[in-house]
Amino acid sequence: MTTLAPDVPAAVESVEAVRAARRRPRRRLLLVWAGLALATVAAFLARVLLGDFTFTIPDAVRIVLGEEIPAVSFILMETKLPRAVLAVLVGLALGVAGAIFQGVLRNPLASPDIIGVAMGASAAACFAIIELGQEGVSVALWGAAGALMMAAVVRLAGGSGSQLVLVGVGATVALQALVQYLFTRADEYDAHIALRWLTGSVGEATWSQIRLVVVGLLVLLPLTAMLAKSLGIAELGPDFATGLGVGPRRTDLVLLMAVLLVALAVAVAGPVSFVAFLSGPIARALNGGRRTLVGAGLTGALIVVAAEYPADYLFTDVNYPVGVITGAVGAPFLLWLLASGRTGRSAR
Amino acid sequence: MTHGLALSRANAGHSLTGGAPRPARVLPARATALLVAVAAVAFVLSVSVGSVGVVVPWAALDPDHTSYAVAAARLERTVTGCCVGAALALSGALLQGLTRNPLADPGLLGITAGATIGMVLAVAVWSVQTLSGYLWFSFLGAALAAIVVHLLASLGGGAATPGRIVIAGAAVTAALTSWTTALLLTDHERFDRLRFWMVGGLGTGYDALQAVGPTILAGIVLGLLGTRLLDTLALGDDLARGLGRNVVRDRLVVGLAVVLLAGSATAAAGPISFVGLIVPHAVRAMVGSSHARVLPLSLGWGAVLLILADTVGRVIAPPTEVQVGIMTALVGVPVFFLLVRRGAGVRW
């Protein structure tokens, strides 16, 4: 006890240093959240107010508050606004889900797009469109069921960790062949619908879809937040995690949340390419190499909303589904992210 | 010294199988005899069985025979199938030796996706019409994809381990697929033509064969020349260098063969996965892992597998036919799962 006394100033100093060091990441995290949220709001406003029909902010506010302006109201309330809102929600769900996958499976490449969950949804939806002649809600349900089924198959056949990722990759290749086969059996019209569905699109957003997604997110996100506390430990690998009291059951539960989030997003918008893949690494890079689920969700929302604008207006004669833009721009960005090692750890 | 060398030669398959070194279980002579017998049966079956019913195989040679047209068409398809299957299986065997990766397959590693987008670009952007014209784009795409996958997998220090290469291949495939989709979505008519090609089928006939024949032949010659190179490379780069090999040049020779074979096969028949994966493994299980036996036998068994898959696909779901790419995926996925579960991709 007595030996401590002469060192008190030094001890206080080092305590201060430690405190400051722990405060810095915290501050950076808040900065990242705020920045991403601001950027998302900006992209959202640009999407809603600009484009082939421009609104002023007071006009838009009046319309949203219920004032009827013939024709103009319709454009805002039935096309632009629902598309933008759905884009934010879908991006949020995919971003969080992707970050969870990458964390639990300990590989920045192991997102739902790569290990077959999204492909399961695509194959099921194509089957519903082409073979069963379904459309609308039932295609969405088929898609969600496909995602869940594929996740279950990969989990059962692949065990855990690296094997699970590889099994998912193999299954994706096989399902890809199945989708191509379905394409050859479709007539031209159906095939084109299916192709749009495959890339992911929020072009047919309706308020009832949005209500569904909001309810889903209100249930899933708090649950995920509760479970995600163990994510940091799960990232240490199954052996360490079990030793620290986070057993495989717990890890599975976190993954299940992620799969449900993907299924929800896929059901309304299709598997929007690369959003789940990109959000985690970008948020992590912004946050100085630390994982942040909130950041990943915001990044996902930002990506989808921002991609909506060029998808709609870049080419005057074609309306691309938003997934084309996220895929085309996202892919090289991801390669660069991995190549420059900015994911905060070695690209494994 | 010679004894030690012989020992390590015998162990050359060690790193490939991920388990104990593979001794020969079947004498090479017997394996060859078996191959010839099965190939003969498969060939006859492929010519005589199909959706229009059974015809005698020799009708294909007799223009006056009543079934000449049917049999001749099937013969054309069978010959194409043999060439494509042989090329795919050999490229898979070479790739597995080159990367010392039991999970290597041109389809899984993104090489066929590279060839695909090369061809789609050639058709869509530069309006190339003939197969011999877009063949070169297919090679270029295949080579670029192979290089990118390898670079991506060896990032962050350390060797490009099997699991990492497969996942990098999946990432590159996902990126290329989303670009291909973007291209296809711009044009209904083009998509309608390409979707039949993209599933992998053998309906292209002698025209295709004439265009890709020379390059397949060149690939086979280069590949078989690579026998000794691969056996030495299997000992590891350092040991190969110590034995006086120029490792970089050796890799380039074998890599060129892989690109020629996979690119030609893809150009002729569309992307077909898993042939390059299964055949070399089956052959290695029979005759051990010496490349002098594995390469020629893979060539033969690849041809047999592809025409058998095609024959089964023709009769399995009448009146439609299931394309050969689907059939190989059906056979290939369980094999892939088995390999992964046995621990083929464990070293990350």
Q: Which of residues 6-65 of B touch A (CB under 8 A)?
A: none
Q: What is the secondary structure of A253-280 as a DSSP string?
A: HHHHHHHHHHHHHHHHH---TTHHHHHH
pLDDT at B196: 65
Structural contact between residues B162 and B103, judged by C-beta atoms closer than 8 angstroms: yes
Interface size A-B, in CB pairs within 8 Å, comes to 165
Test the A interface: residue of B178, B273, B346 with most A CBs within 10 Å: B178
Contacts with B198 from chain A: Cβ below 8 Å = 180, 183
Q: What pLDDT score does B91 carry?
A: 92
| Euclidean distance between CA atoms B46 and B54, whole angstroms | 10
Query: Does B171 contact A114 at a Cβ distance shorter than 8 Å?
Result: yes
List pLDDT tens digits, range B243-264. Answer: 877 777 878 888 889 888 988 8
Interface contact flag, A177 B329, Cβ < 8 Å: yes
**Domains and their CATH numbers in chain A:** 40-339 (1.10.3470.10)
Measure A214 CA to nearest chain B CA, in Å: 28
Looking at residue B87, what is its pLDDT?
A: 92
> Does pLDDT of B347 surpass 60?
no
Residues 248-277 of A with CB under 8 A from B: 273-274, 277
Q: Which of residues 87-126 of B touch A (CB under 8 A)?
A: 103, 107-108
CA B303 to chain centroid, in Å, comes to: 10
**Which of A158, A173, A184 minimises the CB distance to B196?**
A184
Closest among A197, A221, A233 to A297, alpha carbons compared = A221
ipTM computed for the complex: 0.70
Highest average pLDDT, of A127-141, B161-175, B272-286, comes from B272-286
User: CA-CA-CA-CA torsion for B288, B293, B295, B301, nearest 10 degrees?
Assistant: -80
A330, closest residue in chain B (CA to CA): B175
Per the CB < 8 Å rule, is A191 touching B195? yes
- B4 vs A: CB within 8 A: no
Name chain A contacts of B151, Cβ cutoff 8 Å. Answer: 339
Interface test with A, best of B195, B275, B324, B330 (most A CBs within 10 A): B195
pTM for the structure as a whole: 0.76
Q: Which of A107, A185, A195 sits opposite B191 (nearest CB)?
A: A195
Can you say how many angstroms the Cα of residue B288 is from the centroid of all Cα atoms in its chain? 20
Which residues 117-156 in chain A show a CB within 8 A of chain B?
none
Alpha carbons A268 and A141: distance in angstroms, whole number: 9
At A235, is the secondary structure helix, strand, or coil? coil
Query: B152 in contact with A at a CB cutoff of 8 Å?
Result: yes
Kindly tell me if the per-residue pLDDT of A49 is higher than 60: yes
* Average pLDDT estimate for B264-280: 84
CB distance A202 to A213 below 8 Å: no
In this prediction, residues A58-78 reach a mean pLDDT of 73
CB-based contact, B233 to chain A, within 8 Å: no
Question: Is the Cβ pair A163, B345 closer than 8 Å?
Answer: yes
Tell me if A338 and B155 make a contact (CB, 8 A cut-off): yes
- Provide, as residue numbers in chain B, all residues whose Cβ is less than 8 Å from the Cβ of A173: 107-108, 170, 173, 273-274, 329, 333
For A97, the token pair is 């889900």
Of residues B305, B140, B290, B160, the one with CA closest to residue B230:
B290
Tell me, what amino acid is at A17? A
| pLDDT of B115 higher than 80 | yes
Find residues 247-286 of chain B whose CB sits inside 8 Å of chain A: 273-274
Q: Are A78 and A64 in contact (CB under 8 A)?
A: no
pLDDT of residue A277: 84
Residue pointed to by tokens 């464990």? B346
In the predicted model, what is the mean pLDDT of residues A44-53? 77
CATH level 2 (architecture), domain B79-341: Orthogonal Bundle (1.10)
Mean pLDDT of B115-136: 78
Q: Tell me which chain A residue has its CA closest to the CA of residue B198.
A: A180
Please report residues of A whose CB lies closer than 8 A to that of B177.
176
Question: Does residue B85 carry a pLDDT above 60?
Answer: yes
Given CB atoms, is B159 within the 8 Å cutoff of chain A? Answer: no
Contacts of A342 in chain B (CB under 8 A): none
The pLDDT mean for chain A works out to 79
Residue linked to tokens 């950041």: A295
Residue B90: band (very low, low, confident or very high) from pLDDT cuts 50, 70, 90: very high
Name which of A260, A281, A270, A261 is nearest A324 in CA terms.
A270
Among B123, B106, B183, B179, CA closest to A335 = B179
How far is Cα A316 from Cα B127, in angstroms, rounded to an integer?
22
Total Cβ atoms within 10 A of residue A164? 22
A198 touches chain B (CB under 8 A): yes
Model confidence pLDDT, tens digit, residues A137-191? 788 888 888 888 888 888 887 666 667 777 888 888 888 878 877 877 777 777 7
Ranges of each domain in chain B: 79-341
How close does chain A come to B108, measured CA to CA in Å? 7
Distance from CA of B209 to the nearest CA of A (A): 23
* pLDDT of B327 strictly over 70: yes
Section A66-80 average pLDDT:
72
Contact B200 A180 (CB under 8 A): yes
CB contact under 8 A, A347 and B166: no
- Of B81, B88, B16, the closest CA to residue B258 belongs to B88
Does the pLDDT of residue A341 top 70, yes or no?
Answer: no
- Establish if A331 touches chain B: CB-CB under 8 angstroms: yes
Spell out which residues of chain B touch residue A346, defining contact as CB-CB under 8 Å: 155-158
B319–A contact, CB cutoff 8 A: no
